[in-house]
């Protein structure tokens, strides 16, 4: 049986790295990384090459001819570009259509939330109001561009990461693994929210891109649904420590969202200004509105991983917390957090 050739954009990032791992572990894919020429010396890329990932050097803003060469013989393109680079997927998708790519996975990989003003990370509003004077929501621009091309696609979104979902302990024992924590309980703490272990994302992707049922569909890949109170209870049981429960009301969250939006609009080119906005809007979406649930995903038209792959055994959340408490977990985004300190 011939292997599927996958071109991964953003292979050295957190999500991209998980996807690369999942594809390599599946053993049925030939994995290529699309890399900007200036990034070829990254240690993370070297590590992937040592595991068999091949590199195709090309900037996403390159000419169509260069993009076509980078896409030669590729079956599936998976994009995990950052928020500022969403529109760079437009020429890549156009070239993918011309190159005969069989499936294009644009950059989604966020918790479920509706478009149109709930979360900037869902809309990722373009600063280019000249080219996009009307609907300037860049994710929707990319998704609609793909559909206008009749390019086969799959949109994949995931639950809130395990790695961001738990609070700190007073002892500081698990601080080593944390770049962000849920030290506040939103509302009464009983809103269910879907969670996904970052390490499982790649396993889901490997299944999804091999599945004809997911072609031209949206898929929500999640491991478990828990409330904040359930997470706090679980960590208290594992650690033997009592965790302070600081509740934040819906009114406070709405005030934070309004303030963070005003601040980020005042400084649109400073990524650090967007971090408080990301956090506040996430808290609004999954903590107050309750968007990040399988039921709502299905309402929006998603297929779910539980329905598609009932035999898949995801990472157990309680086992993950035990792993964190034992001191052997890995921190994420540590390089980016340091830049904002």
Interatomic CA distance for residues 129 and 307, integer angstroms: 40
Q: Between residues 249 and 262, which one has the greater pLDDT?
A: 249
What is the mean pLDDT of the segment spanning 68-96?
Answer: 94
| 57-71, 99-113, 133-147, 176-190: the lowest-pLDDT one | 133-147
Residue-wise pLDDT for 115-167, tens only, equals 888 888 888 665 544 344 444 557 888 999 999 999 999 999 999 999 999 99
Q: Nearest 5°: phi and psi at 103?
A: -160, 135
What is the mean pLDDT of the segment spanning 101-121?
Answer: 92
Q: Is residue 232 part of a domain?
A: no
Q: Which of 317, 298, 244, 252 is nearest to 279 (CA)?
A: 252
Q: Is residue 283 part of a domain?
A: no
What is the mean pLDDT of the segment spanning 289-315?
Answer: 98
Domain range spanning residue 136? Answer: 4-159+198-221+291-310
In sequence order, the 6+-apart residues with CB closer than 8 A to the CB of 42 are 12
The predicted pLDDT at position 130 comes to 38
Q: Is residue 320 part of a domain?
A: no
Q: Is residue 92 part of a domain?
A: yes
Tokens coding 59: 């900037």
Alpha helices in the chain (DSSP H): 14-26, 43-50, 64-70, 89-99, 120-123, 138-148, 198-208, 228-239, 250-266, 271-282, 294-299, 305-308, 317-326, 334-340
What is the mean pLDDT of the segment spanning 35-59?
Answer: 92
Tokens coding 112: 């479920």
Q: Nearest 5°: phi and psi at 271?
A: -60, -30
Decide if 80 contacts 109 (C-beta within 8 A). yes
Q: Is residue 97 part of a domain?
A: yes
The predicted pLDDT at position 341 comes to 34
Could you tell me the pTM of the whole model? Answer: 0.92
User: Which residues does residue 218 pair with via DSSP β-bridges, in sequence order?
Assistant: 155, 302
Q: Domain total for the chain?
A: 1
The predicted pLDDT at position 268 comes to 53
The angle subtended at Cα 92 by Cα 91 and Cα 94, nearest 5°, is 60
CA 204 to chain CA mean position, Å: 13
What is the mean pLDDT of the segment spanning 45-66?
Answer: 95
Q: Please state, for a pLDDT cut of 70, what percent of the chain lies above it.
A: 91
CA dihedral 123, 128, 130, 132 (to 10 degrees): -30
139 is catalytic: yes
Beta strands in 130-200 (DSSP E): 154-158, 160-161, 184-186, 193-196
Q: Between residues 201 and 140, which one has the greater pLDDT?
A: 201
Q: Kindly indicate the confidence band of residue 85, based on its pLDDT and cuts at 50, 70 and 90.
A: confident
| 197-201, 244-248, 330-334: the lowest-pLDDT one | 330-334
Dihedral sign from CA coordinates of 172, 178, 184, 187: negative
Q: Which of 109, 186, 45, 47 is nearest to 56 (CA)?
A: 45
Q: Is residue 339 part of a domain?
A: no
The predicted pLDDT at position 149 comes to 98
The predicted pLDDT at position 267 comes to 54
Q: Is residue 154 part of a domain?
A: yes
SS3 content of the chain, % helix, strand, coil (to 5): 45, 15, 40
Exactly one of 5, 139, 207, 293 is catalytic; which is it?
139
What is the mean pLDDT of the segment spanning 242-267?
Answer: 90
Interatomic CA distance for residues 37 and 86, integer angstroms: 19
Bridge-based pairing state of the strands 193-196 and 224-226? antiparallel
Q: Is residue 178 part of a domain?
A: no
Longest dimension (CA), the chain: 60
The predicted pLDDT at position 134 comes to 44
Tokens coding 77: 């393109």
CATH number at residue 40: 3.40.50.720
Mean pLDDT of the chain: 91
């Amino acid at each position: 049986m011939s292997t599927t050739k996958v071109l991964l954009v953003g292979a050295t990032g957190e999500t991209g790295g998980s996807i690369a791992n999942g594809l390599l572990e599946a053993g049925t894919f030939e994995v290529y990384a699309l890399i900007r020429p200036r990034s070829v010396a990254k240690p993370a890329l070297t590590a992937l090459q040592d595991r068999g990932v091949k590199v195709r050097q090309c900037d996403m803003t390159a000419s169509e001819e260069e993009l076509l060469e980078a896409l030669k013989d590729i079956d599936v393109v998976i994009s995990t570009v950052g928020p500022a680079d969403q529109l760079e997927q437009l020429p890549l998708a156009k070239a993918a259509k011309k190159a005969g790519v069989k499936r294009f996975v644009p950059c989604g990989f966020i918790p479920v939330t509706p478009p149109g003003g709930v979360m900037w990370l869902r809309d990722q509003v373009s600063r280019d109001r000249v080219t996009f004077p009307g609907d300037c929501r860049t994710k929707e621009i990319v998704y609609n561009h793909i559909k206008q091309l009749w390019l086969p696609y799959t949109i994949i979104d995931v639950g809130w990461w395990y790695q961001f979902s738990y609070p700190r302990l007073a002892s500081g024992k698990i601080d080593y693994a944390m770049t962000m924590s849920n030290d506040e309980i939103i509302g009464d703490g009983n809103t269910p929210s879907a969670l996904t272990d970052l390490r499982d994302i790649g396993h889901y992707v490997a299944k999804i891109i091999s599945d004809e049922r997911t072609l031209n569909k949206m898929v929500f890949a999640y491991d478990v649904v828990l409330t904040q109170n359930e997470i706090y209870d679980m960590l208290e049981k594992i650690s033997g420590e009592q965790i302070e429960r600081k509740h934040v009301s819906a009114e406070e969250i709405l005030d934070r969202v309004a303030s963070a939006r005003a601040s980020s609009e005042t400084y649109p080119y400073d990524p650090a200004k967007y971090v408080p906005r990301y956090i506040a809007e996430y808290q609004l979406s999954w903590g107050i509105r309750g968007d990040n649930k399988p039921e709502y995903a299905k309402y929006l038209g998603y297929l779910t991983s539980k329905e598609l792959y009932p035999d898949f055994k995801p990472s157990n959340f309680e086992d993950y917390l035990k792993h964190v408490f034992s001191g052997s977990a890995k921190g994420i985004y540590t390089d980016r957090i340091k830049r904002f300190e």
